[in-house]
Structure 1
Amino acid sequence: MGAPDYFVILAEMRTGSNFLEESLDAAPGLKCWGEAFNPHFVGAAGRREMAGIDIAARNADPLRLLAAIRERTDGVAGFRLFHDHDPRILEHCLADPRCAKVILRRNPLDSFVSLQIARRTGQWRLGAKGTARMAKIRFEPADFAAYLDMQAAAAAAVTRRLQISGQSAFHIDYDALGDVEILNGLCRFLGARGPITAASSRTRVQNPAPVSQKVENPEEMAAALAELSAQEPFGAGRSRSLEPDRGARVPTYLVAASCPLLFVPLPGGPRARIRGWMEALSPGGAPPLQGMTQKSLRRWRRTNPGHRSFAVLRHPAARAHAVFVERILYPGPHCDMDLRESLRSHHGVPLPEGPPEPNFGLDAHRAAFLAFLAVLRGSLQGQTGLRVPPEWATQSALLQGTAQVLLPDRLLREDMLAQELDAMARPFGRQASVPPARTGAEATLSRIHDPALEEAVRSAYQRDYMMFGFEDWRPEAAG
């Protein structure tokens, strides 16, 4: 099937449609014309004309504007359409099989609260360099119930029309708007002439905190949601995240040479220590095997009945600090120099131009680490244009990626490595000491750590704290 004649993004306010539009506009051969059929403006707030058609002419004949934007587009033209936009255009698009349909959805509680905050603050879009206006709103159960009914009715009407006409749509969720692979799949669906290299960074997430922190009456909200559903489908306690999905990283897995033990390293974790332990398990210190493919991993599992696999969780504070020291602070073979320079020059992280001098003391180290944590938090929440290296990713996301091919038998804790690794090896008649942790970064962290720094880490990695029950970091947490 060739490219469609045009496309429509069926969405609602505060579902991420601006963000999606900007990403699609970066694809060669695609052009999105905004809210072309909003009853109050044409394309964007305050505009009265588009493609030579003013608002009066559009209202008289909406198909005239549709023809004009298609004619003026080098490629495939599209626009965003909400439930309260011109119903004549909705009817036309749903009836036209040459119109590609994109259905964008977001958790309704998130979009509802975001909408109330935007109305209260007057801030409808947050640019890359803008400052978010913060406000809490009072959650009104009746208003939310009405909002749910409106969304459900609009979605049901669209679904029914597509089903009875035998058409399909490309469905995309708000949480996938930062996933370049999914966005490029959408670009292909729409007939783009080429891919994009990154999601848009022009628009940032305005209110990334959990919904329960955005309302004045979280207890009343929780009670109202419990009445609507005992299963809490609205995610009131979760942080919404644009963190991309992760792959399984099979080539990084380590297999002990002398027994069927498989280690699934999480980037930013104690990989070197586990590798040393695996060498010590084997007579003669044989190194563990690595570099497997998914096919060879399946073969190994079939030919090694009784095998065991494990991953090691590291406290987010220790993990973030280790990544900061090894990958950012000190230039060298393990440093990501391009990322370091971007952090230093464009994101306000006070790093020295070269290696830290002796006068780069604990106060300077702490200030740089705190600034790094702020950028890290923003990148995980879709608020910067920076890519998210695997070492920065949440351990939750990394394990979700692993689950595509393997679920580890056990998740070990770094602060209990000696006992837990011994328990892993004992059934195979093996025993070995765990190499000690490198103390340099750990010692520095113990000297700069305080409640404010812990809160900064917790803010960045709230998902991991919740998923794995981490308490505040303590110096002995390295096992």
Structure 2
Amino acid sequence: MPSATRFTYFVVLAEMRTGSNLLESCLNEFDGLSCHGETFNPHFISYPKAETLFGYDKAARDDAPLTVLGCFAQQDGLAGFRYFHDHDPRVLDAFMRDPSCAKIILTRNPLESYVSLKIAQSTQQWRLGDVTQRKAAQVVFDPAEFEDHVRTLQEFQCQLQHLLQTTGQTAFYIAYEDIKELDVLNGLAQWLGIAARIDALPRKFKRQNPEALDEKLRNPEAVSEGIARLDRFNLTRSPSFEPPHPPILWAYRACRSLPLAYAPIPGCSERAIFKWMAQIDGADTDALLSNFTKEAWRDWQRSNGQRMAFTVLRHPLKRAHDVFVDQVILGNRVNVRAFIERVRGLELPNDKAQLAQMDIDVHRRGFLGFLQFVQANLNGQTALQTRAIWASQSRLIEGIVTQCPLHRLIREEHLSEELPAMGSALGRSLPAFEVSQSRGPLELAAIYDTEVERAGRAAYGRDYEMLGFEDYAKSAQH
């Protein structure tokens, strides 16, 4: 029975072919511990041939998974279950955030678990109790499939780690090889707060595939290729310290006569799009639906199930240049201006008259200073708050889709073709979009070179990579 345990139930977080059946068998050897299989497996309840658990059959469990979860804390002793990444996701957050739930994380070498899974799928033998009934098989190693297997495991492990970290909890980690270590198992019981100890391992399960790896595979030479495909140290990851940006619901616009909504990215053709949408309604831009609250936006979406929602992307350099001119030189971004003037050793114009006389070298150096500021700001290296107007478009899109699933991501240079084309999905002919030919007081083309492009990529590398932008020189030719 429990002895002053701080836990009321437990979960074994594992995957197929990691030894979870064996670990469960070991846990059930302890007085006061009971593990009830894969309780939340979508295909069965606890075990393939089981019909009920705690009085709930599979259908009842699926209707009330959190109720079934609550039953574990009500059992005598300390009860628990096994949970894999593809089990019912509705319970994951509940038990992971519950400090009274003990988390036992079981891991195994992913190459071994992959080969074991392939053999089990081939032989349909998922457990082995009698070695005389063992089925052997050689399987084919698929490098791409193995890469996907590892990625799935890693993503789930990272999710678990994040939940533990953000809730201030810890877990008991146990490897496949440790399951047969009596000292480890008894240490696990001590961590759980269980007074009982065991002095022998259960004999119910046997290792199914004790052969060397080469003997289990038809093409062992392919393993090297499979491992080479993996980025074990996550070296290709693009680190991002840019804070998340909530959706700017008040800035959304929707037509009154058509279920068409636009979620603007600041600095990307907003006014021209508003004018085009107003044409659809045959009214002024002020008549468009706007200033949404969460409730109003949710109501609009519910009332327009067949809606079309879109946003517009602008090349990162062009967007940054417009922000530099409109917000920094002609606007009131005093702190950003001060940063640029300090690091670049120059004085920027203060009004349109001075801007018209701006030296091209000052223009170029000032813009490079702004890109330097953006890079530092998005990496959390300045004291200034990150603003949506210069935030990365990819990060802003992440915020948008939390409230507004997008049907179209349209490049600014393709607006004249793609905006009217949305009419086919809405069953209505839409007006042509007139491309604005207005020129700003300063032109990016006048200062663009390879150094400017490098600075743009340094500041907005996430947008270049995730949204597929090419060099501005190539983009401007389209």
Report the CA distance between 1:166 and its aligned residue: 7.5
Task: Report the equivalent of 1:390.
Answer: 388
The residue identity in structure 2 corresponding to 1:273 is A
SS in structure 1 of the partner of residue 172 of structure 2: helix
Superimposed CA distance per residue, residues 267-319 of structure 1 (whole angstroms, 9 cap, x where no aligned partner): 12111111111112122445321111121111111112311100111100111
| Separation of aligned partners in 2, 1:478 and 1:407 | 31
| Separation of aligned partners in 2, 1:353 and 1:337 | 13
8 A Cα contact 2:349 2:358, kept in partner: no
| Separation of aligned partners in 1, 2:225 and 2:385 | 37
8 A Cα contact 1:414 1:477, kept in partner: no
Task: Report the equivalent of 1:410.
Answer: 408
Greater mean alpha carbon deviation, residues 290-299 or residues 423-432: 423-432
Trace 1:135-146 onto structure 2 (pairs within 5 A): none
Report the CA distance between 1:346 and its aligned residue: 4.5
Trace 1:15-164 onto structure 2 (pairs within 5 A): 159-160=171-172
Task: Report the equivalent of 2:323.
Answer: 323
Task: Report the equivalent of 1:142.
Answer: none
| Separation of aligned partners in 2, 1:226 and 1:288 | 56
| Separation of aligned partners in 1, 2:399 and 2:292 | 16
| Separation of aligned partners in 2, 1:292 and 1:459 | 35
Task: Report the equivalent of 2:364.
Answer: 366
In structure 2, the CA distance between the partners of 1:460 and 1:380, relative to structure 1 (3 Å rule), is same
Query: Is 1:247 the counterpart of 2:246 in the alignment?
Result: yes
Report the CA distance between 1:364 and its aligned residue: 1.4
| Separation of aligned partners in 1, 2:225 and 2:245 | 32
SS in structure 2 of the partner of residue 393 of structure 1: coil
Task: Report the equivalent of 2:302.
Answer: 302
Trace 1:226-305 onto structure 2 (pairs within 5 A): 232=231, 234-285=233-284, 287-305=287-305
Superimposed CA distance per residue, residues 7-40 of structure 1 (whole angstroms, 9 cap, x where no aligned partner): xxxxxxxxxxxxxxxxxxxxxxxxxxxxxxxxxx
Report the CA distance between 1:465 and its aligned residue: 0.6
In structure 2, the CA distance between the partners of 1:455 and 1:243, relative to structure 1 (3 Å rule), is same
Task: Report the equivalent of 2:332.
Answer: 336
8 A Cα contact 1:249 1:402, kept in partner: yes
Trace 1:201-240 onto structure 2 (pairs within 5 A): 232=231, 234-240=233-239
Superimposed CA distance per residue, residues 162-217 of structure 1 (whole angstroms, 9 cap, x where no aligned partner): 997689xxxxxxxxxxxxxxxxxxxxxxxxxxxxxxxxxxxxxxxxxxxxxxxxxx
| Separation of aligned partners in 2, 1:225 and 1:348 | 50
Task: Report the equivalent of 1:453.
Answer: 452
In structure 2, the CA distance between the partners of 1:311 and 1:358, relative to structure 1 (3 Å rule), is closer
| Separation of aligned partners in 1, 2:401 and 2:233 | 24
| Separation of aligned partners in 2, 1:451 and 1:431 | 40
Report the CA distance between 1:412 and its aligned residue: 0.6
SS in structure 2 of the partner of residue 295 of structure 1: helix
SS in structure 2 of the partner of residue 262 of structure 1: strand
Consecutive unaligned residues of structure 1, counting only runs of 5 or more, are: 1-96, 98-151, 168-223
The residue identity in structure 2 corresponding to 1:298 is R
| Separation of aligned partners in 1, 2:232 and 2:290 | 41
| Separation of aligned partners in 2, 1:416 and 1:443 | 23
The residue identity in structure 2 corresponding to 1:412 is I
| Separation of aligned partners in 2, 1:407 and 1:321 | 29
Task: Report the equivalent of 2:21.
Answer: none
SS in structure 2 of the partner of residue 386 of structure 1: coil
SS in structure 2 of the partner of residue 467 of structure 1: helix
| Separation of aligned partners in 2, 1:370 and 1:340 | 13
Report the CA distance between 1:450 and its aligned residue: 1.6
| Separation of aligned partners in 2, 1:246 and 1:474 | 29
Trace 1:183-194 onto structure 2 (pairs within 5 A): none
Q: Aligned-pair RMSD on alpha carbons?
A: 3.6
In structure 2, the CA distance between the partners of 1:461 and 1:442, relative to structure 1 (3 Å rule), is farther
The residue identity in structure 1 corresponding to 2:419 is L
SS in structure 1 of the partner of residue 391 of structure 2: coil
| Separation of aligned partners in 2, 1:289 and 1:467 | 31
> Between the two proteins, what is the percent identity of the paired residues?
30
Task: Report the equivalent of 1:463.
Answer: 462
Superimposed CA distance per residue, residues 242-262 of structure 1 (whole angstroms, 9 cap, x where no aligned partner): 100110111111101221100
> Could you state the TM-score of these two structures normalised by the residue count of structure 1?
0.50
Paired positions, count: 269
| Separation of aligned partners in 2, 1:304 and 1:399 | 21
Report the CA distance between 1:431 and its aligned residue: 2.2
In structure 2, the CA distance between the partners of 1:291 and 1:238, relative to structure 1 (3 Å rule), is same
Report the CA distance between 1:159 and its aligned residue: 2.7
SS in structure 1 of the partner of residue 410 of structure 2: strand
> Could you state the TM-score of these two structures normalised by the residue count of structure 2?
0.50
| Separation of aligned partners in 1, 2:232 and 2:378 | 23
8 A Cα contact 2:329 2:337, kept in partner: no
8 A Cα contact 2:340 2:366, kept in partner: no
Superimposed CA distance per residue, residues 23-78 of structure 1 (whole angstroms, 9 cap, x where no aligned partner): xxxxxxxxxxxxxxxxxxxxxxxxxxxxxxxxxxxxxxxxxxxxxxxxxxxxxxxx
Task: Report the equivalent of 1:50.
Answer: none
Report the CA distance between 1:344 and its aligned residue: 4.5
Report the CA distance between 1:421 and its aligned residue: 0.3
The residue identity in structure 1 corresponding to 2:264 is P
Task: Report the equivalent of 1:378.
Answer: 376
Consecutive unaligned residues of structure 2, counting only runs of 5 or more, are: 1-98, 100-157, 174-186, 194-222
| Separation of aligned partners in 2, 1:299 and 1:388 | 30
| Separation of aligned partners in 2, 1:445 and 1:345 | 19
The residue identity in structure 1 corresponding to 2:413 is D
In structure 2, the CA distance between the partners of 1:284 and 1:389, relative to structure 1 (3 Å rule), is closer
SS in structure 2 of the partner of residue 439 of structure 1: coil
| Separation of aligned partners in 2, 1:283 and 1:272 | 16
